[in-house]
Structure 1
Amino acid sequence: MPKVLITPRSYGMFNKDINQMWEKAGFEVIREEGPLPESKFIELIKDVDALLIGTDYLNETILDNAKHLKIIAKYGTGIDNIPKEYAEKKGIYVTNTPAVNNEAVADYAFGLMLSTARKISSSAQKLKEGQWTKTVGIELYGKSLGILGFGAIGKAVARRAIGFQMDVIVYDVFQDEKTATDYGITYTDLETVLKNSDFLSIHMPLLPETTNLLNYETMKKMKKEAILINTARGGIVNEQDLFRVLQEGIIRGAGIDVFSVEPPTSSPLLELDNAVLTPHNAAASEEAIERMTLQSTGNILEFFEQQVKKTEGGNKSVT
């Protein structure tokens, strides 16, 4: 009986029959909610055939102890927490769940824009504390929105911006001119986006070339009234530098859902009133969780079905 280790906390939350799927496929399920420390990971992964992983950090040492592991299924899109090349060298197949959370993340990015611009979360907290204090913010309607990374999520954000009559400018090394024409958006260089955006929303993968892309020098190019939104990956924004530009008033505010270290217990951003911080929550809609559960599960079950077919095919005699 193959074993699968499942670590995402929200896995199966809205899929009542998910356990039956594993049972019907003949799997033993080991459920341990992450993120897991390395020692616990090493202990659990020794005998498993499949790993269904969320935001846990998976390193080469852990994989060296995974003697039977055949597949890693990421519960989500980004695989920067998985040493993919090292895994594949060891014969471990790596999958993800692209497109399942595009709309959820796009919704959330706009939620952070609104909350930061209109100070919604801080106003709500003050009211709960007994303070009837109105706050003055800025509108999104008619403003300029810069999008860094124009993949599926960036495009979903642009669609929402159209309803707010926003002027959308985009930086991406790969340019989709048809979508640009259809949406009425403009591609330009990074510096132009930084200098001209009232709101700047990040939707890039974390790669060597995007790590610390938003640092003190680049953020100094932004408008004084600008608001920075990051629902992509924490390492794209240098958090120490973001703290500095927010503290010095170089930009108005920031809405941050992802951090270089999670949870960000020692992040200086926690000290600031002009930073709306949330716990890597953008993909956590009921609909997205249901889709991620089904697709990540399906990736593993399909992989093992194909392995069985290959084995059966290889065992057939030729007459």
Structure 2
Amino acid sequence: MKKILITPRSYGMFNRDILNNLEKEGFEVVREVGPLSEERMISLIQDVDALIVGTDELTEKIIDQAQNLKVISKYGTGIDNIPKEYAEKRGVIVTNTPSVNNEAVADYTFGLMLSVARNIAASAQNVKEGKWSKHVGVEVFGKTLGIIGFGAIGRSVAERAKGFKMNILVYDVFQNQDIAEQYDITYAELEEVVSRSDFIAVHVPLISETRNLLDYSLMSKMKEEAIIVNTARGGIINEDDLYRILKEGKIRGAGLDVFSVEPPTNSPLLELENAVLTPHNAASSKEAIQRMTLDSTKNVLDYFNSVKSDVRS
């Protein structure tokens, strides 16, 4: 019997029969809610054939201990927590579930933009505390939105921005004029996007080239009333530099759903009123969770079914 370890917290939350279905397919299912420590992962993975993983940090040491492992199915899009090249050198296939959370993350991006711009979170908290005090915010409608990274999620954000009559500037290393015309956007260099935008939304993957992409030098070029939102990956924005920028009042505010260390229990950003911080929650819609559950499971089943087909042929 093949053995599968499943760690994402929300896996199967809205697909109640999914574990039973895996068992009917001949899998012994080990369900443990992550993210798991390296030590705990090693203790569980040694005789596992397949792994469906969320935000758990997989290390080369973990891969070395997974003697039976044949496929890693990422529950989500980003695979920066998986040593993909190392795993594949060990003969382990790595898959992900692209596009499943595009709409959820795009919705959430706008939610953060609006919350920071209009002080929604702080106003709601005041009412709960018995305070009837108002905050003066800024409007989103008609402003300039800078999108850093114009993949599927960036494009979904652009579609929403059009409903707000926003002018859209885009920085992306890959530029396509047909796409620019389709989404009515203007490509620009990174510094121009940062300096001209009223709102900045980050949607690039975390790779060596994008780590600390937004540092103090670059963010200091933002408008004084600008707001920056990151629903991509922690580490793209240098959080110490962002804290300094916000503390000095160089920009209006920030909305972060991702952090370089999660949870950010020791982050100085926690003390700032002009930072709205949420717990890596952007992809957590019912619809996205259903799609991630089904697609990550399908990737595992497809792998083993293809192996069966190869054996038969």
TM over 0.5, yes or no?
yes
Deviations 1:104-148 (A, max 9, x none): 000000000000000000100111011011111000000000000
Q: Which amino acid aligns with 2:220?
A: K
Q: CA deviation at 1:310?
A: 1.2
The size of the alignment, in residue pairs, is: 313
Runs of 4+ in 1 over 6 A off after TM superposition: none
Match of 2:221?
221
- Structure 2: segments with no counterpart, 5+ residues: none
Deviations 1:52-104 (A, max 9, x none): 00001000011111010000000000000000000000000000000000000
Match of 1:198?
198
Q: How does 1:286-301 map to 2 (within 5 A)?
A: 286-301=286-301
SS of residue matched to 2:235: helix
Q: CA deviation at 1:312?
A: 2.1
Match of 2:151?
151
Match of 1:39?
39
1:53 correspondence with 2:53 = yes
Match of 1:187?
187
Match of 1:282?
282
Hey, what's the Cα distance between the residues in 2 that align with 1:290 and 1:162? 28
Match of 1:20?
20
Deviations 1:237-272 (A, max 9, x none): 000000000000111100000000111111111110
Hey, what's the Cα distance between the residues in 1 that align with 2:311 and 2:45? 25
Q: How does 1:95-134 map to 2 (within 5 A)?
A: 95-134=95-134
Q: CA deviation at 1:177?
A: 1.4
Greater Cα shift, 244-253 or 180-189: 180-189
Q: Which amino acid aligns with 1:101?
A: N
Q: Which amino acid aligns with 2:82?
A: I
Q: Which amino acid aligns with 2:14?
A: F
Match of 1:316?
none
Match of 1:74?
74
Match of 1:232?
232
SS of residue matched to 1:158: helix
Q: Which amino acid aligns with 2:145?
A: L
SS of residue matched to 1:244: helix
Hey, what's the Cα distance between the residues in 2 that align with 1:134 and 1:158? 30
Q: How does 1:261-276 map to 2 (within 5 A)?
A: 261-276=261-276
Q: Which amino acid aligns with 1:92?
A: V
Match of 2:86?
86
Q: Which amino acid aligns with 2:104?
A: A
Q: Which amino acid aligns with 1:225?
A: E
Q: CA deviation at 1:7?
A: 0.3
Hey, what's the Cα distance between the residues in 1 that align with 2:77 and 2:177? 24
Q: Which amino acid aligns with 1:195?
A: S
Q: CA deviation at 1:182?
A: 2.1
- Structure 1: segments with no counterpart, 5+ residues: 314-319
TM (normalized to structure 1)?
Answer: 0.97
